[in-house]
Amino acid sequence: LINEVDSLIQIVSLGRSARSRANIKVRQPLEEVIIYGGNKIGKVVKNNVSDIVSELNVKNVRMATSYEDLLDYAVKPNFISIKEKFKNVNEIIKLINQVSNKKLIQSLNKNGKIVFTDLKEIELLREDFLIEELPKENISISSNNTIIVGIKTIITEDLKLEGIARDLIRAVQNLRKKSDFNIEDRIILSIEGDSVFNQAISKNKSYFMNEILATKVNFSVNNNEFHEKNVISNFKVEIAIEKTN
């Protein structure tokens, strides 16, 4: 159980790192996270799909059958490291160049080394190579020695609107706290701004209303004691709340 929790923490951490690399905030929903690892990681993912979906704010979790689903590798000899260990550098470089990137990576991932028998027996370790990860198009990745996690970075219009709705929920919740409303207080929300907010609320109405405990939404703001101006997704918006009677 401890190992499973540790693996789950690693997966979530790598997923968040992949988001960060793509400059996509956690509140922005994404279509899919793709995970590559061994059988143990596969079991962890299968047992914790709902947690991964929740923590990474994605719609779908998929196990990759190969690292090639997520990325390609560019592998080059590390001349500095090889020169420190061997004298016949040019011959070793020729041997390396005869092996495909795929075979080099498979051997290094499986054994931590690659052995050439052409020149007596030469053993090269991961440190003897410069390895660059090249993500597939529209995928951002983060990895450690055993797990690769990739997120799909395409944000559809529906996902964009859901992200705006989530940001708006956060703004309303903050205003509730500033206004000293009780957690259970039902409210009427008034909002005024770009039409994108109307679309975001309309598209996610049930979820939106439940999260902020609203009984009604007005799309104009009158004088109200509890109101605030904000900027969400580069759009200006004014929100106001009042308790229902």
Confidence of residue 195 (pLDDT cuts 50, 70, 90): very high
Mean pLDDT, residues 4-9 = 94
Q: What angle do CA 152, 112, 13 make, to 5 degrees?
A: 35
* 112 CB-near residues (< 8 Å, 6+ apart): 125, 126
Q: Which two tokens stand for residue 88?
A: 């016949």
Name the pTM for this structure: 0.79
* Residue 225 reports pLDDT greater than 80: no
**72-76, 91-95, 151-155: range with highest mean pLDDT:** 151-155
User: So what's the pLDDT on residue 88?
Assistant: 87
- Our CA dihedral for 188, 192, 193, 195, rounded to 10 degrees, sits at 70
Confidence of residue 139 (pLDDT cuts 50, 70, 90): very high
Tens of pLDDT, residue by residue over 77-94, are: 999 999 999 888 998 999
* Residue 1 reports pLDDT greater than 80: no
Rounded mean pLDDT of the chain? 93
Confidence of residue 198 (pLDDT cuts 50, 70, 90): very high
What sections of the chain are H helices per DSSP?
Answer: 2-21, 39-47, 49-56, 79-85, 89-97, 101-111, 157-178, 195-203, 205-212
